[in-house]
A and B are shown apart, each in its own frame.
Chain A
């Protein structure tokens, strides 16, 4: 048992709050919700979350994919492996002033995302369970989401700077940091790929993320994310493309362009210094 194991065991059996304690805390929150308190100023820029959190993937069973692992290289990162990793990094680097479109699917989850690769990093996308992923958008001044039940676009002011939500940013960072190694070749639904494993906080182990990149383009084809419960979440990368920021393509960043008949409701107060409705 190492030091971390001992710390994790320390006070590990603290009881969860009972119903009365939860109810008391909920009452305080309810009180705050109906209190006309101003929201705090916006200042801090958060760094991107880890890949698993970024993708928001539920830990459920794997999708059926044609995955036939090829022969492993069986030994450290040689020159060829280094070249593969270098190419994969280059293939993922976002060019400025374009629109990055990514679409990932798997395990009942979908993330379909369009975003400018340069400030103000305006985006539009939906991320969540298939057929239930909320559509949201943001730019330098507003955040908004679409409510299909009422065919309404809700808009709230926001001074929060938007960051580039590149779902493969963590993969790219790991490639640049040398935290990746080539395991071998794999055939993914008829596409020849390189199988690249990424170290996590425990190094390379059975829970390390694996990406399969197309051997021709070095673009990702699939991500395999082992879960703690022993299952593996497979995410197919259905789209990974950079689009020129033409007028037509920029419409893909607009909720009103996507839902031209929707009613637009702007709340001038919420999100900045207003009241809660």
Chain B
């Protein structure tokens, strides 16, 4: 049953009645799954998104009852789980950069459509693959999850200033690789990238 109660109210009440946590799942599963799909592909995303809500349920006693919106908390858990698969993520980005075929998408017609829609896709994949793990994480939470600096700070447990500096560095790096004068070969660009 969906209610109009805030996420915080639902999570607090789920401390008493665990079944109520299903409402948090109903509200946010699709968004978390989609975010993870964009990062690591649908198959692994299904696994990680399901695990995100299991971890969230088990740790709901730590939830800040003042935080009405559970998205930063859930995205933080999802990001932590995805971090264990950063090699997979980078491998997929590199594959896209080199072949122009996005392995995250299984549908050939859809692939063609997307390549048309985003001619810079391979270059962007190369740029994302070459980012440090922490910078890529902040950038994608900002761009794809639409979290604010403060929400990313809360999600990842890092200072807001660090969020700002990582985001700034990541965007500068992406801009450099996408700009006409800064274009590197795909192979060279994808050689970089760490998970620091």
- Interface residue ranges, A against B (CB under 8 Å): 3-4, 6-17, 21-22, 24-26, 28-30, 32-33, 37-50, 53-56, 123, 127-129, 132-134, 136, 138, 143, 145, 154, 156, 158, 160, 162-163, 165, 200-201, 265, 267, 270-272, 276-277
Assess the A13–B110 pair: CB atoms within 8 A. Answer: yes
Task: Provide the residues of chain A in CB contact with B124, threshold 8 Å.
Answer: 6-7, 10
Known: A15-B42, A33-B19. A6 touches B118 (CB 8 A): yes
Known: A3-B171, A29-B50, A33-B21. A16 touches B72 (CB 8 A): no
Assess the A53–B68 pair: CB atoms within 8 A. Answer: yes
Assess the B46–A17 pair: CB atoms within 8 A. Answer: yes
Assess the B15–A143 pair: CB atoms within 8 A. Answer: yes
Task: Provide the residues of chain A in CB contact with B12, threshold 8 Å.
Answer: 136, 143, 145, 156
A43, B21: Cα distance in complex, Å: 21
- Residues 39-74 of chain B: 1 if any A CB is under 8 Å from the residue's CB, otherwise 0? 000100110011101100111111111111101110
Assess the B4–A129 pair: CB atoms within 8 A. Answer: yes
- Interface residue ranges, B against A (CB under 8 Å): 3-6, 8-9, 12-13, 15-19, 21-22, 25, 29-30, 33-34, 37-38, 42, 45-46, 49-51, 53-54, 57-69, 71-73, 102, 104-105, 110, 113-114, 117-118, 120-121, 124-125, 128, 139-140, 142-144, 148-151, 153-154, 157, 160, 171, 174-175, 178
Task: Provide the residues of chain B in CB contact with A25, threshold 8 Å.
Answer: 25, 29, 33, 46, 49-50, 53
User: Which of the listed residues A37, A42, A56 has the most CB atoms from chain B within 10 Å of its own CB?
Assistant: A56
